[in-house]
Amino acid sequence: MQSQLLVHQLIIENVCDKFETFEELLKSVAIRARHLIPKVTDKTYIDEVVGIAFILFALLIAVSLASYSPADPSFSTVTSNIEVQNAVGKIGAGFAEFFVQIFGVSSYLLPVFFLIIGVTQIRVKPAARNNASLITGFALMAISLATLRQIVWKSPVETTLLIAEPYNNGGMIGEIVAGFFLHYFALTGAYIIFSSLLLIGAMLAFPFSPTRSLKQGLGILHAIKTGGLRAWRGHKEKKDAFEGEGALSPAQQVVAELEEAPRVNRQPEIASPPPQIATKPKQEIFDFDQEDIGDYRLPPLTLLSDPPLMTGGMSQKELIAQSHILQKKLRDFGVEGRVTQVHPGPVITMFEFAPAAGVKLNKITSLSDDLALGMRALSVRIVAPLPGKPTVGIEIPNPKREAVFLKEVLSSPAHNRISSILKLALGKDIFGNPFSTDLSKMPHLLIAGATGSGKSVGLNSMVLSILFSSTPAEVKMLMIDPKMLEFTLYDGIPHLITPVIVRPKAASAALKKMVAEMQRRYELLSEKSVRNIESYNKLAAQSEDMDLLPYIVVFIDELADLMMVASKDVEDSIARLAQMARAAGIHLVLATQRPSVDVLTGLIKANFPARIAFNVSSKTDSRTILDANGAEKLLGKGDMLYLSAGTGKLTRVHGAYIAEDEVKKVVTFIKEQSQPYYESAFSEGESSEKKYSDEASDDRDDRYEDARELVISTRQASASFLQRRMRVGYPRAARMIEMMEEDGLIGPAVGSKPREVFVRKEEGDHV
What DSSP letter does each residue of 371-398 carry, written as one string? HHHHTT-S--EEESSPTTSSSEEEEEE-
Residue that wins the pLDDT comparison between 659 and 18: 659
- Above 90 in pLDDT, residue 191? no
- Lowest-confidence range among 123-137, 170-184, 217-231, 260-274? 260-274
Residue 268 predicted with pLDDT over 50: yes
Q: Confirm if 69 and 86 have CB atoms less than 8 A apart.
A: yes
Per-residue pLDDT reduced to its tens digit, 414-460: 999 998 999 999 999 988 899 999 999 889 999 999 888 889 899 99
Q: What is the model's pLDDT at position 271? A: 53
CA dist 654 and 640 (Å) reads 6
Looking at residue 242, its pLDDT comes to 35
The predicted structure's pLDDT at residue 212:
63
Instruction: Pick the range with the lowest mean pLDDT from 173-182, 625-634, 751-760.
Output: 751-760
Q: Name the residue with higher pLDDT: 511 or 695.
A: 511
Alpha-carbon distances of 710 from 431, 635, 721, 731, rounded to whole Å? 61, 61, 10, 18
Cβ contacts of 259 within 8 Å, gap of 6 or more: none
Mean pLDDT, rounded, for 741-750: 80
Residue spans of the domains in the chain: they are 2-34, 43-212, 406-671, 693-766
pLDDT band at 266 (very low <50, low <70, confident <90, very high): very low
User: Which stretch of 30-44, 75-89, 99-113, 319-333 has the lowest confidence by average pLDDT?
Assistant: 30-44
State mean pLDDT over 458-486: 91
As a whole number of angstroms, the distance between CA 353 and CA 338 comes to 6
Kindly state the percentage of the chain with pLDDT values over 70: 74
Question: HSE on the CB side for 123, CA within 13 Å?
Answer: 7
- For residue 607, what pLDDT is reported? 85
CA distance 323 to 332: 14
pLDDT at 244: 39
Is there a contact between 425 and 415 (Cβ–Cβ < 8 Å)? yes
Q: Is 60 exceeded by the pLDDT of residue 613?
A: yes
Confidence of residue 494 (pLDDT cuts 50, 70, 90): very high
Higher pLDDT, 310 or 758: 758
> Has residue 754 got a pLDDT over 90?
no
| 95-117 per-position pLDDT tens digit | 788 888 888 888 888 888 888 88
Predicted pLDDT of residue 495: 92
Phi, psi of 633 (to 5 degrees): -95, 0
What is the average pLDDT across 518-541? 90
Helices 171-205, 131-152: inter-axial angle, 10-degree rounding: 130
| Statement: 406-671 belongs to CATH 3.30.70.20 | no
CA 99 to chain centre: 49
CB 404 within 8 A of CB 427: yes
Give mean pLDDT, residues 560-587.
86
Residue type, 194: F
User: For position 12, what pLDDT does the model report?
Assistant: 52
> Which pLDDT score, from 0 to 100, does residue 249 have?
37
Identity of residue 297? R
pTM of the model: 0.53
How crowded is the C-beta side of 221, counted as CA atoms within 13 Å?
Answer: 6
User: 334 versus 690: which is more confidently predicted?
Assistant: 334
Q: What is the mean pLDDT of residues 499-523?
A: 89
The mean pLDDT value of the chain amounts to 77
| pLDDT for 54 | 87
Cα 760 to the center of its chain, rounded Å:
63
Of 18-22, 23-27, 41-45, 195-199, the one with minimum mean pLDDT is 18-22
How distant, in Å, are the alpha carbons of 359, 457, 708, 711, 721 from that of 760? 86, 58, 11, 10, 18
Q: For residue 561, what is the enclosing H or E element?
A: helix 559-580
Q: Does domain 693-766 have CATH number 1.20.1250.20?
A: no
Q: Which of 22-26, 615-619, 630-634, 718-722 has the lowest mean pLDDT?
A: 22-26
* Rounded Cα gap, residues 143 and 667, in angstroms: 72
Q: Which DSSP helix (H) or strand (E) runs through 675? A: none
- Pair 569, 490: CB distance under 8 Å: no
Pick the more confident residue, 29 or 434.
Answer: 434
pLDDT digits (tens, 9 = 90+) for 152-184: 765 444 333 344 443 456 788 888 888 888 878
Position 680 scores a pLDDT of 66
Classify 651 as helix, strand or coil: strand
